[in-house]
Amino acid sequence: MGLTSQSLLFAMIAVAVVCVGLTVWMWPRFAGRGPRAVLGRLGVIAATQLSIVAALGLAVNSNFEFYASWHELLGLYDGAPAAVGKWGNEGKAGPAGDPSKGLVQPSGPEGLDKVHGIPTGPPDKNGKVETVKIVGKRTRAVNPAYVYLPPQYFQKQYARQRFPVVVALAGYPGGIFLLGQHLRLPETASQLIRSGKMQPTVIVMMRPTIAPPRDTQCVDVPGGPQAETFFAQDVPDALRSHYRVGSDPGAWGVMGYSSGGSCALQLAMIHSRTYTSAAALSPDYKVSTDPTTGNLFGDGKDRGRRREEHDLMWRLKNLPAPQVNVLIGTSRAGEPNYPAAKEFLDAVKPPMKADSIILDHGSHNFATWRRELPAALQWMSRSLTFPEDVVGSS
């Protein structure tokens, strides 16, 4: 049974209920003071608690899809975070794909069948959400994605038209399911496009790690996962090869929440010729290492330079400002990163432009990000240019 399957969840709930019942029924038998009675009490308590914790864990994971498969949960795609000393030249780069079979390949449901509010019915009236795998031409990394295609994408009058595109990144360790179900990105975008508050846009929802369970932080790890190259080069190439999306960087934006927002800022500021707009909800402003990331910058003499280049405040103070537009979402109360957000916004200088969504109160959670999302999507729509090139143009 799959890790997120309903049958596994119901089976584990049934096991927990049986364990509770057996504990109540057998408890009088272990009322004595001898070693067997003590061991019996400890045994039934342990079995009951383990079954309840397992059921709760499966329920939470089924709802949020932190791990989509047993492989991800068990860390079979990459070295476990505890082995950070062995990462680097000996570290694996995550699951590898075959670009010769296409840079965008069909995928299973990836949890889309459990997402509420996605467009249904005729695509030319309501739009459509596809599940695909994106394969890196350079990195050979494989990442699942939901791709929202607006109704205009399927309408005859737009048959040769290319569309602006937004790459949307989840936080870590969440996956694309969270963007659909809990951030409600396809549902919100569909409503805004239908009401004319947002231009027709292709939205590609992805997770920021390319080597789960490792948090790759959109960084090219020396001898390890090349996450920065994947998102800055492979993803745009793959999408242009398969979908009618614009070629000019002015039609490309990136957005995300939490660590996905941090990646969005990193990608736009470092690769301004790929993404010209970035919307970041509750981001950090520099890449830090921890047990989930391992050694992201290597051990060579350029380690310090690599770390500095992924510190956005350092970039603003020491490098020419990139010609990009950024949007920062934060809250005066409830968000611990408000002082850092203010410092970042104050440091922005031309030709870079910055706007903000600042709530009076909001925590680091989906309730806050859902409040910010409509304004962020409308800001992104105003920032991106609708492509002038059409299919078949040179």
- Helices 366-383 + 185-194 axis angle, to 10: 40
Q: Angle at CA 162, nearest 5°, toward 159 and 165?
A: 135
Starting from the edge strand earliest in sequence, which strands make up the sheet with 128-135, in order? 104-106, 128-135, 142-149, 202-206, 165-169, 252-257, 277-281, 325-333, 353-361
What are the pLDDT digits (tens) for 194-247?
A: 999 999 999 999 999 999 889 999 999 999 999 999 999 999 999 999 999 999
Q: Which amino acid is at 380?
A: M
- Say how far apart CA 201 and CA 245 lie, in whole Å: 9
Please check whether residue 131 is in contact with residue 112, taking contact to mean a CB–CB distance below 8 angstroms: yes
- Say how far apart CA 112 and CA 207 lie, in whole Å: 14
What are the pLDDT digits (tens) for 277-317?
A: 999 999 999 999 899 999 999 888 889 999 999 999 999 99
What are the residues whose beta carbons fall under 8 Å from the beta carbon of 227, sequence distance 6 or more?
141, 208, 209, 210, 211, 216, 217, 218, 219, 220, 221
Q: Which residue, chain included where needed, has tokens 């995928």?
A: 107
Count of beta carbons in the 10 Å neighbourhood of residue 300: 12
Q: What is the pLDDT of residue 203?
A: 98
DSSP-derived 3-state class of residue 131: strand
The most distant pair of C-alpha atoms in the chain lies apart, rounded to whole Å, by 87
- Say how far apart CA 336 and CA 338 lie, in whole Å: 6
- State both tokens at 350: 């031309």
Q: What is the pLDDT of residue 69?
A: 56
Q: What is the pLDDT of residue 1?
A: 64
- Say how far apart CA 204 and CA 254 lie, in whole Å: 9
- Say how far apart CA 243 and CA 135 lie, in whole Å: 14
Q: What is the pLDDT of residue 24?
A: 84
Q: What is the pLDDT of residue 77?
A: 40
Peptide bond into 213 cis (omega under 30): yes
Q: Which residue, chain included where needed, has tokens 């505890």?
A: 82
The one-character DSSP state at 320 is: P
Q: What backbone torsions phi and psi does residue 127 show, to the nearest 5 degrees?
A: 85, -175
Is residue 13 exposed (0-12), middle (13-18) or buried (19+ Cβ within 10 Å)? middle
- State both tokens at 390: 């059409």
Please check whether residue 45 is in contact with residue 52, taking contact to mean a CB–CB distance below 8 angstroms: no
Please check whether residue 133 is in contact with residue 104, taking contact to mean a CB–CB distance below 8 angstroms: yes
- Range in 95-99, 216-220, 357-361 with the lowest mean pLDDT: 95-99
H helix count then E strand count, the chain = 13, 9
Nearest to 283 by CA among 354, 225, 349: 354
- Say how far apart CA 319 and CA 325 lie, in whole Å: 17
| pLDDT value at 263 more than 80 | yes
Q: What is the pLDDT of residue 394?
A: 47
Query: Which of 68 and 150 is assigned the larger pLDDT?
Result: 150
Please check whether residue 197 is in contact with residue 215, taking contact to mean a CB–CB distance below 8 angstroms: no
DSSP-derived 3-state class of residue 331: strand
- What per-residue string of b and e applies to 243-282 under the rule 16 or more CB within 10 Å gives b? bbbbeebbbbbbbbbbbbbbbbbbbbbbbbebbbbbbbbb
Residue 160 pairs in a beta bridge with none
- State both tokens at 266: 């990193």
Q: How confident is the model at residue 84 (pLDDT cuts 50, 70, 90)?
A: very low
Q: What is the pLDDT of residue 83?
A: 24
Mean pLDDT of the chain: 87
Q: Which residue, chain included where needed, has tokens 């009951």?
A: 48
Q: What is the pLDDT of residue 242?
A: 96
